[in-house]
Structure 1
Amino acid sequence: MSNTFAPLPNNDAFADFADGVSARIQRVGVNLASDRVNLTLPDGKKLTWPMESLRALPDQADRESLVLTSTDMPLARLYLRDTALSGVVRQAAANLHRRPPVENIGRLLKWGVAAFASVALIVFVLVPVMADQLARYLPPEGEKALGDTTFEQIRNVLDDTGFEPIRVCETTAGTAAMQTMLARLNPVADLPYDIQVTVLDHEMVNAFALPGGRIVFFRGLINEAQSAEEVAAVFAHEIGHVVNRDPTRDALRSAGSIGVLGLLFGDFAGGTVVLFLANRLINATYSQKAEAGADSYAHGLMTQAGLSPASLGTMFLRLKARYGEQEGLVAHFAAHPQLSERIERSLAAAQEVVVTQPILSAQEWSGLRNICGRTAAAEQPSGGGAKDNKEK
């Protein structure tokens, strides 16, 4: 592009000028020469911007104007609204649309790495530590409210029709059988709330615990169990998670991580947070320490109730043989290299247990199997078809 141009009459005009130091906008005189732009400030002071130093900036408010800066004064702005004057500058300034060179790229990279490390530290270290502390001191009312809200969201998430939440199974006989099972297990932990158990009418082979003492079974898990003792073993395992505050801790960690990421990448609506927590708690993957703690608690609870802890291990072994390593109920456990050790521990814990009597009578077990008003035997898989989820 040539640096020569047809001069305007007198080459004089006026423009708005910001010096980049104060917030004041000044009206300045503009005079063009072949190689420079001369500015006259209100106090008479003169500024000279060489043509090669001029850079154009986008003006989002007025796209007809030409907004200039100079590499000599990168924070200053000159707003040319005279179209004739702007045309001359566009013709004369060869570097008008050249991007300025990136300076201190090494320092920028260091800042970027430091920022990423800071976010990782917050999400993976500080948030879990804070969640562990908050889980101990969160008021029971708040913990239970979080669990109840998440439970209702889970019902909506799992509904395939989009019209109403998934149905809660609560036949009289089935509900009574669940309460009999809970009374027999009789968790003695000093919890600030009662254990509340609910069965949802869904084929997923899964059970999980929510903050506030709520334990949720899916119809699919009850149908998969071959005895009431297997259901009781899963029940005891989930009670262990409640006693150890694992669901509350996991929910707080997830919510804290969402908050940090929301500050960085845009806010999340409250409903989105609850939806995320719902999916997170359905598919919770606790640490090996948390799983071992829940296992140990389940072994003790089953032993105390005169039931064999081996029911937990035999159920996983049977389903593992049916569905394979990575599908069905045992998918979560199969992801841990210590799965075999955990099954062995449950079998070992049963060696000195004196089994007194079944946890449910045959009639009660039948009532539990049909708690959703369906015939469980008719829904047993014929083989090979694995469910999509897992029990924790």
Structure 2
Amino acid sequence: MTATDSEGVLYFDGTSNRRHAATLALADSLEIAVDGKTMARWPYAEIRRADSAPGTLRLSCQSAPALARLVIRDAALAAELSSRTSNLDEHHLGRRGVARIVGWSLAAVVSIVLVVLYGVPLAADRLAPLVPESFERRLGEMAEKQVNIVFREKACNASPAGQAAFDKLVTALRSAAGFDTSVQSAVLSSPIPNALALPGGKIVVFDSLIAKARNPDEIAGVIAHELGHLRHRDNMRSLIYNGGTSFLIGLLFGDITGSSAVIFASRTLVTSSYSREAETAADTFSIEIMKKLGRPPKAMGELMLRVTGKEGGKGLTIISTHPLSEDRLARMSREDQTPKGPPLLTDAEWQALKGICANGKV
């Protein structure tokens, strides 16, 4: 059986973009001729259906050039040829094939979500203690540079009395927590009332937080809380978790180069919040250290509530990364005790610490 109508059969040889009006011969194999010259022979077993518009049969051949195509608009010829090609639809996606792909895609998305929710946190918990301290210190140096960029702070070291008071406070807390002198600390000038624990063992306190404190115990509780983050290596755990999550999201949305993971992970060092569980554990550490020093744990909770205000009506607490300040104060109030030990700072030292950034910035 043959067809010579140029509107009925078109042939693309796969080596140029020209289309040819073709004649087909249905012999032992499909013979394709153009202007009376045989251009190709396609074995029936290697002919496959390609995507095409309704009413058109579009074919390819496994042994032909990858871009070679045959377009048949003659319904009778298409039916006859289809009857000879038993493998015509072997790789063609019908509705069931599309549904299968959609199903597998949804399964892949669900799998990634489950890994993010359960697998990555578990891996972060296991891997964080294994990270060498030397590597963590290098990360801490990078994080400190990020602090300089994000907060554009100035180190407050022009007041010897204020620096001495701060060093005395940190030394008492560091000794009670069992840290050696490798843990460093600094007061930075910033309008943000906050404190940070950086990888490698460095505590950063912003002077705006000191300005809002009413006594040394309030600042001491915050520093003890940050020491808790260092003890539990929460910053490394957070870095591993967020870096792994970013990589999986990159896989899901097509970025498999890892670039987004690197950017996301570096910013995580100073901008992401710890999980509620990590915050609660750091609060527990602070309570224990303050009790060990004979000082009231409640002081930190009072400072936190003063800084943030009541948070209960500000949004959904279930998605909050930190426990609510009022809940933290309530818990610390339950653990509170009458001061038993000596004050961590004298009145003069406290006033010097309050003015640590007042005499100049460098």
TM-score normalised to structure 1 length = 0.66
Alignment of 1:272 with 2:270, yes or no, is no
Alignment of 1:351 with 2:337, yes or no, is yes
Partner of residue 89, structure 2: none
SS in 1 for 2:134: helix
Letter in 1 for 2:22: L
**8 Å CA contact 2:161, 2:353 repeated in 1:** yes
Alignment of 1:371 with 2:356, yes or no, is yes
Alignment of 1:167 with 2:165, yes or no, is no
Partner of residue 131, structure 1: 124
**8 Å CA contact 2:187, 2:205 repeated in 1:** yes
Alignment of 1:232 with 2:220, yes or no, is yes
**8 Å CA contact 2:203, 2:227 repeated in 1:** yes
Partner of residue 22, structure 2: 32
SS in 2 for 1:39: strand
Letter in 1 for 2:348: Q
In structure 2, the gaps of 5 or more residues are 79-91
Letter in 2 for 1:136: P
Note closer, same or farther for the CA distance 1:350–1:78 as it changes in structure 2 (3 Å cut).
closer
Note closer, same or farther for the CA distance 1:113–1:55 as it changes in structure 2 (3 Å cut).
closer
1:289-328 Cα distance to aligned partner (Å, 9 max, x none): x2232122212211222322121122234445xx442799
Alignment of 1:282 with 2:267, yes or no, is no
SS in 1 for 2:13: strand
Partner of residue 85, structure 2: none
Find 2:242's aligned residue among 246, 250, 254.
254
Note closer, same or farther for the CA distance 1:190–1:275 as it changes in structure 2 (3 Å cut).
same
Distance 2:151 2:264 in 1: 17
Distance 1:269 1:371 in 2: 40
Partner of residue 207, structure 2: 219
**8 Å CA contact 2:193, 2:307 repeated in 1:** no
Deviation at 1:234, TM superposition (A): 0.7
Distance 1:348 1:73 in 2: 78
Letter in 1 for 2:331: R
SS in 1 for 2:113: helix
Query: 1:35-184 to 2 correspondence within 5 Å?
Result: 38-39=31-32, 45-46=41-42, 70-71=58-59, 73=61, 79=67, 102-159=95-152, 166-171=153-158, 172-184=160-172
Note closer, same or farther for the CA distance 1:307–1:219 as it changes in structure 2 (3 Å cut).
same
Distance 2:96 2:320 in 1: 51
1:254-288 Cα distance to aligned partner (Å, 9 max, x none): 1222233334432316862454223xx43413223
Letter in 1 for 2:13: A
Letter in 1 for 2:154: R
SS in 2 for 1:217: strand
**8 Å CA contact 1:4, 1:92 repeated in 2:** no
**8 Å CA contact 1:254, 1:277 repeated in 2:** yes
Distance 2:318 2:192 in 1: 14
Note closer, same or farther for the CA distance 1:104–1:91 as it changes in structure 2 (3 Å cut).
closer
SS in 2 for 1:70: strand
> CA RMSD, aligned part only?
4.5
1:339-383 Cα distance to aligned partner (Å, 9 max, x none): 5453233223223541422x22233222222222369xxxxxxxx
Note closer, same or farther for the CA distance 1:134–1:319 as it changes in structure 2 (3 Å cut).
same
Of all paired residues, the percent bearing the same amino acid is 26
Distance 1:374 1:249 in 2: 38
Find 2:196's aligned residue among 208, 213, 219.
208
TM-score normalised to structure 2 length = 0.71
**8 Å CA contact 1:228, 1:365 repeated in 2:** yes
Partner of residue 13, structure 2: 15
Distance 2:23 2:265 in 1: 64
Letter in 2 for 1:221: L
Partner of residue 298, structure 1: 286
**8 Å CA contact 1:240, 1:293 repeated in 2:** yes
Letter in 2 for 1:364: E
Query: 1:189-208 to 2 correspondence within 5 Å?
Result: 189=177, 194-208=182-196
1:183-241 Cα distance to aligned partner (Å, 9 max, x none): 22234555587221122221011112122111121222111112222111111111111
Note closer, same or farther for the CA distance 1:42–1:147 as it changes in structure 2 (3 Å cut).
farther
SS in 1 for 2:267: helix
**8 Å CA contact 2:294, 2:340 repeated in 1:** yes
Distance 1:327 1:173 in 2: 42
Note closer, same or farther for the CA distance 1:47–1:214 as it changes in structure 2 (3 Å cut).
same
The size of the alignment, in residue pairs, is 323
Shifted more, 184-193 versus 230-239: the winner is 184-193
